[in-house]
Each structure stands twice: as C-alpha cells, then as structure tokens.
A and B are shown apart, each in its own frame.
Chain A
Amino acid sequence: MSEKLITIEINATKLEVKPDAMLIEAADDAGIHIPRFCYHKKLTIAANCRMCLVEVENAPKPLPACATPVNEGMKVWTKSKYALSAQQDNMEFLLINHPLDCPICDQGGECELQDLAVSARGSSSRFHEVKRVVTDKDIGPLVSTDMTRCIQCTRCIRFGEEIAGMREMGATGRGDRMEVGTFVEKSLISELSGNIIDICPVGALTAKPSRYKARPWDVVQTASIASHDSVGSNINLHTYKNELVRVVAGDNDAINECWISDRDRFSYQGVTAKDRLTKPMIKKDGIWKEIDWAGALDSIAELIKAIDADQIGALVSPRATVEEQYLLQKALRGVGVNNIDHRLRQCDFYDQELAPLAPNLGVSIADLEQQNAVLLVGSNIRQEQPMLNHRLRKAALKGAHIMTVNLREYDFNYDIAEQLTGNVTQMLEKLAGIALASGKLPEALDDLVDGIKPNDTEKKIAKYLTEAENALVLTGNIAVSHPQYSALRALSSVIAENTGAKLGSLVESANTVGGWLSGAIPHRQAAGIDTAKVGKNITEMLNADLKLFVLLDVEPEFDCANPKQAMSAMHQAECVVAMTPYASESLKAYTDILLPISTVAETSGTFINTEGRWQSFTGASQLAGDARPAWKVLRVLGNVLEVEGFEFVSSTEVRDELQAKISSATDKGNADLMPIYQKQATDTGLQRVSEVSIYCTDSLVRRATALHKSIENEAAIRININDAEVLGLSNNAKITIKQDEASTKATLIIDNMIPQGCVFIPEGTEVSACLSASFGTIEISAA
C-alpha cells in the first residue's frame, strides 16, 4: 500500500510520517519518547491523563500528542521548556491524590508514574490537603486492587470494552469521587483479564498470586513461549532467586500482539506444586523407593530390552517440546517400538494416512483478522485459543460472519452469525447439511449425507462462505475428540473446496504440530517418513493389553480421551514408566518407575505453533532436587539403550537435526478423501457432550491454584432446563452420573446453552476422570 507520507518536525528533526498518524505515534516510530499514561497503542484514544502535552508551533496552548493528528509542516517540541513545564504541572495534578506508598507497592520499580515523577523534577508537592482514599473491592483471585493508587487513565476500562469484549471495569461516581472498578464486588471472568495488570501504568492493578513475592529490580526476566494452547504466545518469565514468581506478556505483533490469556499468565503456579517429583523413584513390592538416575535408567533399559517391542507403548504429551518428542520416538524406534502417540484426546484415526505432515491453521494468525466468513467446526475457540479468538473478534467487529457447528452453544464476546448445536451425531448431520448446500459432493460422502436435507440456516452458512472474499473453515479441539473426526474433516474439506474457502485446524496444544513433525505418531517417523511397520494408535494401545507403557508428562486419567479405558490399561500393564514433573497419588498407584523431569519453565526447547512457526526458548528457573530437563534424560536413555545418534550436546542440536530432516520432507497434502465415510448408528437416551475445561488442559495448569479459584462450577455438569424438568432435578442438585460401567457423583447446573437431550461434562476434571469416552449414552439421577 503506497501511502503518501507527510513531513513534520519533532525536536528540530525532520520526519516522514503517515498522514493519519497521531503525534505520539509518529514520535514513537521515530524513537522519541513522550510521557503518557492513558495512551496505549492497542486501545482507543482517551486523552484524559494529559501527560503527553507537547509544544506545537502556532498552537495557543500545549497539545496532547496522543490526540493531535500530524499535519504537513507541523513543528513540535517535546522537551522544550514550555512542553516540560506543561508536563510537570500536569504531573503535580496527577500526584495530588496518589499515595506515596511506593516502598510497599508491587509496581514500584516498574511504574510509569514513579519513573516520570522521579525524572520530572521536584521532590515535594504544593498540595497539603487530605488525599482521597478509595475502598478496594475484591475482584477475584487473579488481580489485586489498590484503587487509591489509580490515576484514572481508563486503560483497564477500555481494555474490557475493546479487547476482552466484555466490560467489567468502569468509572463510577463523578468528579473527585470518581472511582475505577467493578462497583459491585465481583470476580473478573474474562479469559484475558490479567492483561489489565500489564497495562495499568501505576500500582492500582497488580498480580495477586505474585503479590509481595519480589521487587521488579530483583527479578530476572527470561523470554519464553506459552505452553498451553497452540498460539505460541510470547511471554516473559520472571524469576527471583531461581524461583519463578511471575509471568508477563511478551510483545509479538504477528502472534499475541501484547496480550496473553490468563491461562498463559498464571499457570506458572503449577511449577511449584506440592506434588512436584524431585527424585527418581522405583516401586518394589508395592513400596516406593528412591533410586539414583543411573539405576533408574538401567532398569528402564532392561525392561525395554526384555519386553517384545510390540508390547511397549509410549504416550507423549502434545506440549512436550519438539526435542523431547523427537528424542523419545528416536530412542524407542531405535529398539523397534512404533507404538507412540501424542494424540491423547483423539479417538478416530480412520484417515490418519491422509493427514498432512502436520495440522496447520491454513492462514497466518494475523490473517485471521482479514477473514469475512469463518466456519468453526467443533471449537470453543474463546477458551481453547483465546488469542486466536481475539483475532476473529476483530474480524467480526469489521462485519465478518463467524459461524459454528458445535456440541453446545457458547457465549462469544462478539456477534456470532449462526451457532448450530447438537450431540455428536446431530453435529455431523448439520455439517453434512452445510456440505450439501455448498455444492456437489464426492461419492465417498454419500452415506454421511444420506437422508439429509439442508435447512435454511445450513444453506445460509454455505452462502456466507461462498460469497465471502476471504473465507475459512477451521476445525477445533472438540472436533479432534469427536468419534467421527475423520468425517468432520472430510466434510470440512469438501465445504472449503466447494465454497472457495481455505481450510485449517486450530490445533489442540502447544506442540501438537511438533508431535506430528517429530514422529510422535505411530504411522510416521520424524519429518513424515513412513514407518516400516505402522504402530498402534493410542486407542489401540490402550485396548491391546500392552506390557509396558512409557508416559512423557501424561496423566492418563486427565489427559486421555477415555480415562476409564486408559486407567484399566495402566493398571493391567506389567510396568508403567512415567517421566513426569509431578507424582500425584493416582499416578503412583499405577506406575512403577518415576523419573522427575522439567516443566516448560526449567528446560530449553522448542514449540511449533498452529501456523507452523518454530519458537525456541531457554529455561528460566532451577530444577527442584534431582529433576532433570527431559531432553537430557531422553538423551541418556538413548545411550543406555545403545541407539545410535544420541551424541547431542545441546537441545538446539536436537532441534537442528529434526529441522534438517523436515526441510527435505514433502507435504502429504490435504486434498484426498478416504474411499468411503460411514455414518455411525445413533444411540438413544441422553447423550454425553464434552470439552476440556479451560484450566484442565494439562498437568501444569491443572495445578495452578489461582486460576481454578477464578472460575465457578469448574467440574459441574450441565443440562438444559427441559431435561432437568423431565428428570426432576434442580439447579445445584447433587447427582450420580452413569456411563457404561463407570459412575461418579457431581453437581448439576441448569444451562440452556446445552442442547436438549445432551449432558455436558467438562473434561480433565475429577468428575470426567471417573468416566469413559467423551460421548455416548449417559444416565443421570439424583444422588
């Protein structure tokens, strides 16, 4: 885009600037700093703090740089006597009501107000009257408030309205009694709420879990990559005396801009969880004993050598680093084991041979904003990938049609054009309806669309996709767990083809892409090279009565699609070896050897995000006890197993070896379909629908206490009011759930976003851990 630049002069320096820029943007681009509190590059302009006053030629008074558009020939001075005096006078006003409690303020040392006050001259104020005091309200376990310190810049208010898409903070009262806050005592519920801590220029909003833990000048900052969703948000880890005390957002306009989700910000609490494993352990005759590393690894090597390779299976976390995933599969494949899988929540592997080299978003993260129509298939994107939802929100605000086919309705923070819902069978039928409306279908899908006639909504969705200049069909995390994921994929791909839309996957976890590329799958080695023998996928492994399981940061009862099946497989196995940062009591019950490994904060490694972007990071905090970075453990395991090619000195060498292989790999494409897709018979009775609860996605965040306190009814199951009336159950009732042979107790919430005939059960929770598959017939009754 060629935009004619105009010439202005700031501090006697000639600058070529964009004609629609504000002075402060032009100055920022030129590296000229103008003090500011209310201005934030990602928020609208409020111009209420008046800190950015500058001198402009021919202007009768100082002008706020944030709200003054540039003009051809404009001459500006930001540090002239006139400008400085305006800024200093303004500062004196701002400090009138600001307490001098910097020594006990968490913001002290990284406070924009403090920095400016110190540099702005003068150590005393002419204001000798009484300062106002604001009574604080508790706004939840994540954000700590000291609203007496607030200078009413309204960044947090604008953040809520413009970025989070839900106004939670506001300015109540008036004049000198105006207060910023929630007015009533309430917990913030936005999944992005923690960002107000970063943008608050003073100490009014600070991080509650890290309150009083460390002073900013004592912490060491290490750039890292968030390890939960597939976005790969850039974060900064703050360590104090080698302990991880805080996480703040990093800046990367192509990925997370300057925001991060609460999950990425507060999950660090899990690093210091009580059940952190610090010593290698071995179970002998039912009793756990500590063992040294050499002994532990020798025992594992002996086991692996003694057991037939077909009887060994490895479950790999989709958020283990590329290096860890690659080394584990390299070591195991070196001894003939192909039963390796990181697709813990998937249960339909019918079309795995057709899968591309790795799932991919299909467009860049930034390009999500440019879409005009997006169909989400099986995705609660707002919780699964909050920063991708933020991009879609921007598209929606520009008028894009965002449409969903899901198991239930969701509260979006923007207008949704259509939400289609139903149980797993109905969901498939509705997608088939859209496919039929989109155009001609290949024969392979005949059975799926048999007897289906698209209704008006389905036709409208197909029409929106066809008419849009940029259209996108995205499958989400819920689709991956669908019993007919392959059919959803096929239908999505045909819809995309027929409507001219692009096709992509939102990708489940921080390193799901890595799992595919590094060979943590049974049917392909690293870089997608075919295996001589196709190994068992996770469902087959769990049903095969394997003798030895190797777990890499996996807690099967919470991480697997079918906890019941996973647990019985673990219990019947002769031996289970777990490489894990944590040793929960239930893990200790079915494992035999435990190797303490790093969490993401303590190791170097690489994640590949949903766009296929490789991002490497280094460890920030020190490992507790004898725990070791997992990649080093796996390197030694490779050596002990006498597999060749394990002479790595650093994790970057591991990454480089894989990267070299991938550079010569050919993509598998995404175009083909299986010869036939068959509809599965519909079950009768109430149908289970599920998704992973936002803070239960992995071992780290499951231990982040503040996040769990921030949401209500995390493990409650939900049904529609009509079903509740039929069953005679009321809100908050204690109920018993029965699924297949399994049963457990839970609390019931009546929620009309759940379609009739469905029972919504959040996964990764204590409740789901007692049940089986994420779909199927389910019974509930009063406890």
Chain B
Amino acid sequence: MSDTKVETVKIRDMRNASKDATSILTQHERDDIDSWLKRYPKDRSQSALLAALRAVMHEDHYLSTKKMNAVAAYLHLPNIAVYEVASFYSMFELDEKAAGRHSISVCTNVSCMLNGSDEIVNHIESKLGIKMGETTSDGKFFFKIEEECLAACCGAPMMQVDHVYYENLTLEKVDEILDGLE
C-alpha cells in the first residue's frame, strides 16, 4: 500500500472518530502523544500506545474508558487493543477510586521484606489512615498494592512515589518524603 493511500484512508477514518477524540484528550495529552507518534512509521501508530496511556495517567491519575476510547480513536486502533494494554501493565490504574495525585508503591518482595518492608507498609497505612489499595479522601495519595519486585534490592527497603525511587528507607525518611509532597 502506498503512503498516499494510507494517508487518505486515515484522514477519512479520522473524520468521524477523531473529532470526538480530539475534544476528549487535553491539549497536553495530544502534544505528548504527537511527539511520540513522530518517532514511529506512519502505519505503526500502535507503537505510541504505551506513551499515550502514560500521558493520560499523568493528567488523570487513572485511565477512564472514555479516555481509553479517545486514545484508540486518536491512534486508529480498535478500543479493545487499548484495553488489553491498559489492563496488562500494573503501572496503569483503571479504577477511578485509584486516582490519587501521588501513587505510593512499597516493594514487599523478598529483599525488602527481609529488610522490614512490612513495618514501612504499616506505618504508611496508619499515617494516611488508609489500607493498601485505597486512596486518601482528599485524593492526595493512592497506596498501591505492589505485587512485583521493583528491582532495587541493593537499596532495600524501598518505595516508589510517582516516578521516583526512594531507597534504604526508615520510618523517619518515609515521613519526610510524604510530608514534602504537595
């Protein structure tokens, strides 16, 4: 298939679907997705899907079906192709209740567990007044159930807050980190 043909087909497909998509995704999200789309061949828009979902996560802190459908339309993918990716990766939250401004993940795998991660978890739970898997009522913190090793055993115990790793934790250090967040 020639490039021009791909283009005309795309433009036609876009006319109905993407009009909606454009209005649902924010300008920031679209700019982010567009910058990723530039890096891939024109008929491989699926390559930008992970980045697109990350952009939406960054804005909304979770992926609503509406936004996922908008991403699908924007990238000319079937909706289900977006659901598959979104539900596969644990870094994406699909439940509105999981939408906190800051996402806290405490690693509870072997190395961290041996170095006292349970204590860290208990401390955060009592500090924030929520259980793992819940969001504080002000929507500030989401305490994620992290099931996998976060691959920082040398710095155990550790936690990830948003995109940042914090290692060799103590209870005081945890307080300092969480209190320092907006």
Contacts and interface: CB of A to CB of B under 8 A. Distances in A.
Given A399-B1, A417-B5, A170 B15 contact: no
Nearest to A416: B9
B81 interface: yes
Interface stretch (A65-73, A161-169, A261-269, A676-684): A161-169
A170 B9 CA distance: 25
Interface string A400-432: 000000000000000111010000000000000
Interface in A240-267: none
Contacts of B16: 752-753
B179 to A, nearest CB: 35
B80 interface: yes
A168 B79 CA distance: 8
Contact of A174 (B15, B65, B79, B87): B87
Contacts of A415: 1, 5, 9
B5 A169 contact: no
Interface string B50-61: 000000000000
B78 interface: yes
Given A415-B9, A752-B15, A752-B16, A170 B1 contact: no
Contacts of B3: none
Contacts, number: 40
A416 B79 CA distance: 21
B22 to A, nearest CB: 15
Interface residues of B, number: 15
Contacts of B15: 752
Most buried by A among B1, B12, B88: B88
Contacts of B166: none
Given A399-B1, A415-B1, A172 B83 contact: yes
Contact of A167 (B1, B65, B81, B88): B81
B7 to A, nearest CB: 11
Contacts of A752: 15-16
Interface of A: 166-174, 182-184, 399, 415-417, 419, 752-753
Interface of B: 1, 5, 9, 12, 15-16, 65, 78-81, 83-84, 87-88
B117 to A, nearest CB: 22
Contact of B87 (A169, A172, A182): A172
B80 A174 contact: no
Contacts of B84: 170-172, 183
Contacts of B78: 166-168, 170
A170 B88 contact: no
Contacts of B9: 415-416
Nearest to A418: B8
Nearest to A414: B9
B131 to A, nearest CB: 20
Contact of B83 (A166, A174, A183, A417): A183
Contact of B65 (A166, A168, A184, A753): A184
A705 to B, nearest CB: 28
Contacts of A168: 78, 80
A3 to B, nearest CB: 28
A172 B88 contact: yes
Given A170-B84, A172-B80, A172-B88, 17 more contacts: A167-B78, A167-B80, A167-B81, A168-B80, A169-B80, A170-B78, A170-B80, A171-B84, A172-B83, A173-B87, A182-B80, A183-B83, A183-B84, A183-B87, A184-B79, A415-B9, A753-B16
